[in-house]
Structure formats: structure tokens, C-alpha cells
Amino acid sequence: MKGLNGVSPPAAIAHQNFTVECAVLVLHFNGVGSVVLIDGSASIFCANLTRNARYHFDKRSIPIEVPVSARFDVEGDFVAHHSVLDSTVEDLNAVLDAARADAFVELGMHRPAPAASPNDRRGEAGNPDEEAYAGPRVLVVGDQNMGKSSLCRALVNLGVRGRRCGITFVDADVGQQGVSCPGSVSAVFMEGPVPVDEAFNAVMPLSFFFGSKVVTVATRKRYLDLCACIAQAATAVGFAKPHFQCGGMIINTMGWTTGLGQDLLIELAAIFSATHVIVAGSDVALETAMENSVLGRSVRVMRYPKQSLILKRNASLLAEMRTQQLVSYFVGTPRTPLLPARLVAKTTEVYFLNSLTLDLMSWQDIKSCSLAAVVWADSVETAAEANVAGYIVLLEIGKRFFSFLSPASGALPKPYLLVSSTISLPPSKVPPLGGTA
């Protein structure tokens, strides 16, 4: 039915109440939606919900666990399913908690080793710091649509429950980055639960910019070097803060488990000195490969069954989620909005470097709306392994000046920009002039 102006009215937003007892309510949001816990107790990814607080989601699959009973108000375009409660995540966490308990005992008997110099590569075979890092280092591997990211969030939330331990979460998935901008390798140091609807977007990360959504044979070394930088930094934090050393690391990986992808997973197990590997799905060949991935010590391999009710992400949805992750970096979230700014700087005062090859780039070689990382470097030579100060989108680049989009007003903190040749913000997503600071 069409209105007076000949345009069909927008579809009514679904609004429904649910009463759930001792079950899991799985909600597939096809667009923007929200959930309110009216009564009872419930959790999402093992993070407890607050009564009468509205949680917003966009094109996400959300499992709400109800241990006893709860009543919800749900809005949006969604599909609801009911499932039985499953203790698999708690069982996996029990194994990790036992390793953390052993770490507390070990640190009570031995003083932590001092942090290594910046030139050291922690996690390599024969490094004495490898044994000194007492907590579990968990590598989560598996194909796409197996529930790896959801499992990592749940394990982080369970690990920080009681606030006895701090958990280092590392996202080494450059294609579907859940911590920072796409194309990066990032870590966050969690001492409390992950925000339910903002995930890691409201947490300050430690990030290194790779600059591509995929890893190839030519860029393999660059990717692994950045992962080694993250491993070194995470280990240093553990030595400085014993509760992070005991809590250990949870490492999310790309959903690529064959050929070069499997080789990368084996390399990551060595770089992070993995003590536990969780294989999502039923991939016996991958389990065997990971069991034999590290020489000279044992790695405990555990299984996590494929989650049949999660939202299946095809290539189109994955690309849309990457764009949304990039947009949220600049505009924030509904709970923590940002005011992005269009700024101008002199082209001659900055250095444009290709994020993959690290070659200097001319302003003429840079495409409009390319993503760039401002890194904490003091020279072109040190930019390769410098962590990210912030991300910008290069809008218009000229011989003398260039304009860029920043999540906040202010001058560039450093003049060294790692520019991606494959990741960009769609022009339609660039805020209009009136919508920026």
C-alpha cells in the first residue's frame, strides 16, 4: 500500500516480548535492533546484562543465555530461535582457569623475568622468557562461520570474572578485525568484561597496521613481523603486571585453514608460544597439524563444536561488516558517539609509505579515501614496526596540501603515514561537510 506521495511507508519495526527459562534465545538481527532485559538474569557472550538497559545491535547474531528465567523486550527486524544451554565454553574456560591457578602458584615461587629489550623477539624457540610467561596462551583456529570471534569474547569475559586476572586479547584476523580498523593486528588488555553492544570498539587498543585484508606469499613476512611485535608487547605487559601474566592471552585468527593459511597458523603458534589451541569445528587434519606445530614442548589441543545457529556470513556481508567496523572507528557507536573532523595538512610535511612494501609513495600514487595509519615513529626506518597512533582517511591529495578525515580534531602527532592500497572508506560513508567538526 502506497501513501499520498506515492511512496510506500516504511515497514513497522517488530516489537516483541520474550519469556525464557533455562534456555538460549538466539536473535538474528537483519538490521538495527535492540534488546532490553526487563526481569531476571541473562548474559551475552558470558557478560551479564543490566536490567532496563537497552543494548543495540546491527546485523548480528546474538545468543542470550538464561540460566533460570528472564523476560526481554526486543525491537527491530529479527528472527528468534530457542536452543538448549551448553556448557562447552565453561568447560574450556575451566581448563584455562586451572592453568591460571598454576601460574599464580608459579609466580608465588619465582619472580617474573624482566622485560626484554625492544629488539628481542619473544616467543622464538630457545628464548628463556618463553617459560617465564606463566599464563595460558590460547590460539583459536578454524574455518569461517565456526564461531571463533564469539568464543574469544566469551573466554575473555569468563577470564576476567572476579577481576583476579587480566586477559590480553589479540585479534590477528586482518580481514575481519574486531578490535581496530580492518587490515590491522591489534591487542586489548582487559580487566573487566567486554561491553555487550560495543564489543572492543570502546576499548583503547594496541595496534599495528598491515594494510590489507588478505595475506599472500609476498606479504607473509610483513604480517608475521607485526604479529611478533604484538606478541612482544603483550609479553612485556605480562611481565610488568603479574595479573596479566597469570591471565594469559586469547588469540583470534583468520578463517583460513588450508595451504598458506595453515602455515600461518603454525607460525602464530610459535610466535605466541601457544600452550593451548582451540579448534572450532570438526577439522581433524587441522587438529593434527596444530598438535605438531611446536617442537620441544607440548600444546594442548581442544575442540569447540561448530555453532549451527550463528548468522552465516557470505562475502557480501563480510565486506559490509568491514565497512561498518571502519565507519565506527570514525563516528563511534550509539553509546559512545564521536564527532569526526575534516582537516588539512601540508603534503611536504609528511611521509607517505606503502603499508605492505614500506616504500615511499608520491602523493600522485594515493587513491582518494584510502585508509592510512599514523604511527609512533621517529624516522622512516622505524615506521615499519611502530604501533599506530591513530587512523585517518585520505580524502583529497594535492602537491602542496591534502585533506583527511580524523575521528577527532587536532594536528597529526607524527608525520609518518602507512597507506593502504586496498582498504578504503566508501565515498558514500564520508560524513558531509556539515556533519564534521
Note the pLDDT of residue 122: 37
Q: Give me the pLDDT at residue 437, please.
A: 59
Instruction: Point out the least confidently predicted range of 61-65, 131-135, 253-257, 283-287.
Output: 131-135
pLDDT at 14: 77
In the predicted model, is pLDDT for residue 1 greater than 80? no
Q: Tens digit of pLDDT for each residue in 248-271?
A: 999 999 999 999 999 999 999 999
- Per residue in 367-425, pLDDT (tens digit) is 999 999 999 999 999 999 999 999 999 999 999 999 999 999 999 999 999 999 999 99
Q: Could you give the CA distance from residue 407 to residue 296 in angstroms, rounded to a whole number?
A: 46
| Mean pLDDT of all residues in 54-76 | 94
Of the candidates 391, 245, 248, 278, the residue with the CA atom closest to the CA atom of residue 328: 391
* Secondary structure of residue 369 in the 3-state scheme: coil
According to DSSP, the β-strands at 43-44 and 61-83 are antiparallel
Is residue 193 within 8 Å of 165, Cβ to Cβ? no
- pLDDT computed for residue 133 by the predictor: 63
Confidence of residue 435 (pLDDT cuts 50, 70, 90): low
List the domains of the chain with CATH numbers: 15-83 (2.60.120.1030), 88-304 (3.40.50.300), 339-435 (2.40.30.330)
pLDDT at 89 over 70: yes
pLDDT tens, residue by residue, 320-347: 989 999 999 999 888 888 889 999 999 9
Percent over 70 (pLDDT), the chain: 90
- Which carries the bigger pLDDT value, residue 155 or residue 121? 155
Question: Which position has the higher pLDDT, 247 or 5?
Answer: 247
Is residue 135 pLDDT above 60, yes or no? yes
pLDDT of 84 reads: 92
Predicted structure pTM score:
0.89
pLDDT at 337: 87
pLDDT at 115: 39
Residue 300 has pLDDT above 60, yes or no: yes
Q: Compute the average pLDDT of residues 30-57.
A: 94
pLDDT at 354: 97
Is residue 131 scored above 50 in pLDDT? no
Task: Let me know: does 249 contact 170? Beta carbons within 8 Å.
Answer: yes
Q: Give the Cβ contact number of residue 21 at 10 Å.
A: 10
Q: CB neighbours (10 Å) of residue 48?
A: 14
Dump pLDDT digits (tens) for 138-195.
Answer: 999 999 889 899 999 999 999 999 878 999 999 999 998 989 999 999 999 999 999 9
Confidence of residue 118 (pLDDT cuts 50, 70, 90): very low
Query: What pLDDT was estimated at residue 433?
Result: 66
* Pairwise CA distance, residues 13 & 348, whole Å: 52
Q: Which of residues 307 and 423 earns the better pLDDT score?
A: 423
- Residue 217 pLDDT more than 80? yes
Q: Give pLDDT tens digits for 234-248.
A: 999 988 999 999 999
3-state secondary structure at position 38: strand
- For residues 367 and 190, the answer to whether their CB atoms sit within 8 Å is no
In this structure, how many other beta carbons lie within 10 angstroms of the beta carbon of residue 285?
Answer: 10
Q: What local confidence, expressed as pLDDT, does residue 9 receive?
A: 41
Whether 200 shows a pLDDT value over 50: the answer reads yes
Cα separation, 330 vs 326, in Å, equals: 7
